[in-house]
Structure 1
Amino acid sequence: MINKMKFKNTLLFAAITLISFGIWNCHAKKSEIKGIYTFVSQSKNGGIKTGADDYATYLPMLKDKKVGVLTNQTGIVTTDKETVHLVDFLVSQKIKIQKIFAPEHGFRGTADAGELIKDGKDTKTGLPIISLYGNNKKPSKEQLKNIDIIVFDLQDVGARFYTYISSLHYLMEACAEQNIPVIILDRPNPNGSTVDGPVLEMEYKSFVGMHPIPVLHGMTIGEYAQMINGEKWLAKGVQCDITVIKCLNYQKSMPYNLPVKPSPNLPNDQSINLYASLCFFEGTNVSCGRGTDKQFQIYGSPFLKNMPYSFTPKPNEGAKDPMHNGKKCFGEDLSKIEKIDGIQLKWLLKAYKESSGKEKFFINFFTTLAGTKQLQQQIEKGMTEAEIKKTWQNGIEKFKQTRSPYLLYKS
């Protein structure tokens, strides 16, 4: 029989110990991160915390180091008090940032897709900004001079032709060559673990497709970085010293709503869900809604006059000269449809069938986006969606086996 008094004393001692430890730990964390408490509040995304939110883990790695940061408007940190930009947060923590590196769309994320981004200076912090888009996609030895470590924080959307993973590749390659470690602050993939689409054939490698992967790869950017290293996709097989700060309380089956739009033409969850399906239109004479407020949620062209919906593209943020600028386009509005799983080709097939200008429907960029000539040939032959998708399956299964060792989260 247990001695009741001894049991009560044991419970009392345990309670006092836990309370004391909690008070000590709270003060320790305050001291470590200069007045900002450890993250405790639950986000709207089911308590998911991004790698950036786990600052108690990565701040000590940056202490007394000369730091570079590759990020944009999606690089945000949520504390129990506020949500702030990663650069502003690191500056407040007295981290010695030397330079900001910016991807496509720029540091604040307002530039057009494909627009040449110039180097500059952040007006808020005065820090120099180095563009990694346009003529300078890979940091030079000179640009990395006097940098001890780089922090990478970009919100990806899980699609091969979304160029943030290409910027990741070139950053890792440059840092591997200069023996500079990289900390990757991981973020959820809003398209979860979905894998779909044709696998890129390396003869069609470009900045919108650098690796032999399907269109939807089903990985977070941290997992993807591990695959770049492990598969030795960097030049000459070099490998980068990377540390992935994982998302907490995250599984890929969880829905994730982006708190900040990742680029000007992906304004909401619907556009992100439809992006992999509608982006193929960027290689045709059909608009996917650039120059409207329903980017990647509608499609249409002047050559689809038998279709019910119409819109007229006009210049706006992220589309200074949109396709069919000022011309009435006919097509479909998909902004209210149910969420789709994977890639759907039915809209592309329908547009090709209905187009009055089939000989001008495809442009060369279509093959670049698809990563293969086969998809255009299949559409022109009149193959059905089911027939086309069946030809992707062997490549998808091989890819899933390849990526397996690099996964960090349950599906």
Structure 2
Amino acid sequence: MSHELVAQSTKAIPGDQQIADYLPMIFDKRVGLVVNHTSVLGKTHLADTLLSLKVPIKKIFAPEHGFRGTADAGAHIDNGKDEKTGLPIISLYGSHKKPTKADLEGIDVLIFDIQDVGTRFYTYSSTLHYVMEACAENSVKLIILDRPNPNGHYVDGPVLEKEFASFVGLNPIPVVHGCSLGELAKMINGEAWLDRGIQCDLTVIPVKKYKHADKVHIRVAPSPNLPNDQAIGLYPSLCLFEGTNVSIGRGTTTQFQVAGTNVEGLGDYTFTPKPLPGAMDPPLKGKLCYGFDLTKTDTRALGFSLKYLFYFFEKTGKKESFFTSPAFFDKLAGTNELRKMMLEGKSEKEIRASWQEGLKEYKKIREKYLIYR
């Protein structure tokens, strides 16, 4: 499967394809890779490519969903060994989100190459944060092979408040942050967001022929429940439903492209979640859900929208019971103000107005670290 990312009429060239730029930095170093199934050049995994070039790779570190990208969201993943290369795989998920001193023993350089989708609650950026922190604490250099952000054309949503920091949001950035992971890493360093303000020895290999305004097509699904560009575009608006009684299609073949709940008569579309790879125990499993088919929605025009959230909240009674996990909803939102204002009967316009000042301040910070203008 080709992994070229097409940006409008030009072809963006991800950092991992620019081997001549980073090979001199690593050819005589002991290397660890923070990678998953998206870390491919053409049809070949980065690990296989570097091994063929005699780069001394010692370990693979894998994020949520694992090295091959097949595990359910939130599933426990054990450490193991890659059958093809024999390399040890260390899972950076569950109770082991950050590489330890022992994990990094014998490593001079870590290479980070993972496709992100540009939202705060997508956990690959939290993995990046912890990897940066571990590298800073253990004097390991970090090289990020940057990739385009498919939601990089806009910035929106509430900025995370410190008390709601979690693995689905560690830093004071909005839901849609408008950065590549390389830019975000520069921001984390520059704003001293790592523990005790420590600094990571960081090099970013930028994407060539790419601007944030470009329309990015991703050929390799970044995780099991974001199977295509449509799901990735809808993800910012639909992920908040994960803390409610609404299904966003886990357990169907239209994950993050439908929304519905088991209240008869809502919307004009029905679906029934069932166990599928990547979602073996989906919300509302086996229940007929009524709602909307969003597979044809113009996601760039939609942006980060609360309209579906408001629709289901209002149609199901405007009650606290809509939020099946209030604490998780607040972590996803990065604040409890969104939920509280909805329960108080505030309009979407009023809620949006409440986060504009924070967004304005964030955009000033973001400007300092942009690579792709």
Q: Same fold (TM over 0.5)?
A: yes
5+ residue gaps, structure 1, are 1-41
Structure 1 residues 369 and 324, CA gap change in structure 2 (3 angstroms): same
Deviations 1:14-70 (A, max 9, x none): xxxxxxxxxxxxxxxxxxxxxxxxxxxx86442210001111111111112110000
1:283-302 matches, within 5 Å, as: 283-302=243-262
Q: Distance in 2 between matches of 1:84 and 1:172?
A: 26
Match of 2:95 among 123, 135, 140: 135
Match of 2:214 in 1: 254
2:13 paired with 1:63: no
Could you say which structure has the larger radius of gyration?
1
- SS, match of residue 104 in structure 2: coil
Instruction: Specify which structure has the bigger relative contact order, considering alpha-carbon pairs within 8 angstroms and separated by 6 or more residues.
Output: 2
Matches within 5 A, 1:3-402: 44-45=6-7, 46-78=10-42, 83-303=43-263, 305-341=265-301, 342-355=303-316, 358-362=319-323, 363-364=325-326, 365-402=328-365
Partners of 2:320 and 2:343 within 8 A in 1: no
Preserved CA contact (<8 Å) 1:304 1:356: no
Q: What is aligned with 1:37?
A: none
Q: Which amino acid aligns with 2:96?
A: N
Equivalent pairs counted in the alignment come to: 366
* Contact 1:193 1:219 survives alignment (8 Å): no
RMSD between aligned alpha carbons? Answer: 1.4
Return the alpha-carbon distance in structure 1 between the equivalents of residues 264 and 174 of structure 2: 29
Q: Any idea what the Cα deviations from partners look like across 1:351-401, whole Å, max 9, x if unmatched? A: 011115834211221111111111011212222222221222111110011
1:176-208 Cα distance to aligned partner (Å, 9 max, x none): 011010000000000123110011110111000
Corresponding residue SS for 2:292: strand
- Supply the distance in 1 between the matched residues of 2:299 and 2:333 (Cα, whole angstroms): 22
Poorly superposed stretches of 4+, deviation over 6 Å: none
* 1:30 match: none
Amino acid at match of 1:183: I
Task: Report if the CA contact (8 A) 2:319-2:343 is conserved.
Answer: no
**What's 2:367 paired with?**
404
Distance in 2 between residues matched to 1:181 and 1:359, nearest whole Å: 47
Q: TM-score, normalised by structure 2?
A: 0.95
Q: Work out whether residues 68 and 97 of structure 1, in 8 Å CA contact, stay in contact via their aligned partners in 2.
A: yes
TM-score w.r.t. length of structure 1:
0.87
Letter of the 2:106 partner, please give it: N
- Distance in 1 (CA, whole Å) between partners of 2:320 and 2:132 is 42
Q: Which moved more, 1:327-336 or 1:374-383?
A: 374-383
Question: Once the 2 structures are TM-superposed, how far is the Cα of residue 304 of structure 1 from its aligned partner?
Answer: 5.2
User: SS at the partner of 1:198?
Assistant: strand
| Whole-Å separation in 2 of the counterparts to 1:98 and 1:255 | 36
